A = this chain, B = another copy of it.
Amino acid sequence: MIHPVPPGTRDVLPDEMRELRDLSTRLHAVFEGAGYGEVWTPAIEYEDVLRRGDESAAGAGFRLFDDRGHVLALRSDPTIPIARLVANRYAGVPASLRLCYFAHAYRSVERGSGQAREFLQGGIELIGIAGPPGDAEVIALVLGALSEAGLSRHRVGLGDGMLYRSLLAAADVPEDERRPLLESLWRRDLVRLEAQVDRLGLSPAARELLVTVPALRGGPEVLDRVDGSLAGAVENLRECHELLRERRVDDRVIFDLGLLRELSYYTGTIFEVYDPAVAFALGGGGRYDDLLGRFGEARPACGAGLDVQRVHLAQLAEESQASGGTA
């Protein structure tokens, strides 16, 4: 007789758990060593508080009720609760803040092909440092943590969360027609995106930009192929790349001008981390300069989260491939 667990959740037995704990401990040591202090936020929060951070993030979560009938939600993203924590506990602290977390997050809806509904996230939030210097610190730290965890072939895809939105605005695409295009882009469905762009009846030049820019992917040379309304984003990405070069991790960077992250609070640089040994992103993050202001004092911020179980699978796959096995 097997007693089922909910789809997207699973038991972890001792051999795997030992490796997951070891991995978390290593990632934590790297974050803590770089000055990122660990925080814990409750797994359950008032839904209207989470909604303040991001309407869609709250919708993706499991909802429950307390004994007074308040609507609560399970943590579906670590960053919004940390923005709330910063507003509550660090108001009026002008210095930059470096925080990290290790906590499970929960989504009631599928998320990518893995469809995990309970996943352990480990990540960092850098608050109070604007622009490329903040972005580069976060990205370099995540890449370093993955190296420390034993990965050797990991890469970071680097883009800008406002880039396609800027193109849509520059092409005068009406507000209410933008969302389906962003949805296709987020799903990496460039065929559908092209069909949608074609239906907009734009000028050939505007159509060309909306179709070709999201396909630009590669070394720094891809940045030379865009300009105009994207000059600000491109300048940011160049500067970030230069700072990553100084930190000697620029060889891991792949520019990806079609990158879009699920959560809508990103305001600038965004990134995802990959390992060629596995087919899925290990994590990602980006700049969210508007989020803290929704809870209190406006402060620039950038963060990154890793899916610890996915990083573990990448470790195993790299080891297996290195030893000549099949993944």
Contacts and interface: CB of A to CB of B under 8 A. Distances in A.
A13 B39 contact: yes
Contact of A11 (B13, B37, B88, B104): B88
B43 A14 contact: no
Contact of A104 (B2, B4, B43): B43
A175 interface: no
A311 to B, nearest CB: 16
Nearest to A41: B11
Contact of A17 (B1, B12, B21, B40): B40
Interface in A115-143: 117-118
A238 interface: no
B4 A46 contact: yes
Interface string A24-42: 0100100010000111111
B106 A43 contact: yes
Q: How many copies does the complex hold?
A: 2
Nearest to A9: B42
A175 to B, nearest CB: 29
A88 to B, nearest CB: 5
Contacts of A49: 3-5
Contact of A62 (B4, B44, B89, B117): B44
A10 interface: yes
B42 A89 contact: no
Contacts of A44: 6, 9, 62, 74, 106, 117-118
A109 interface: yes
A3 B87 contact: yes
A49 B5 CA distance: 9
A70 interface: yes
A20 to B, nearest CB: 8
A63 interface: yes
B45 A6 contact: yes
Interface string A87-117: 1110000000001000010101100000001
A43 B118 CA distance: 8
A296 interface: yes
A84 interface: yes
A9 B70 CA distance: 14
**When A and B form their complex, which 8 residue pairs have the shortest distance between CB atoms, in order from nearest?**
A14-B37, A9-B42, A12-B40, A64-B64, A17-B38, A3-B49, A62-B64, A3-B84
Given A9-B45, A44-B62, 17 more contacts: A2-B87, A3-B49, A3-B87, A3-B88, A5-B45, A6-B42, A6-B44, A10-B42, A11-B85, A17-B40, A20-B40, A44-B106, A44-B118, A62-B64, A63-B65, A66-B108, A74-B74
Interface of A: 1-7, 9-15, 17-18, 20-21, 25, 28, 32, 37-46, 49, 52, 62-67, 70, 72, 74, 84-85, 87-89, 99, 104, 106, 108-109, 117-118, 295-296
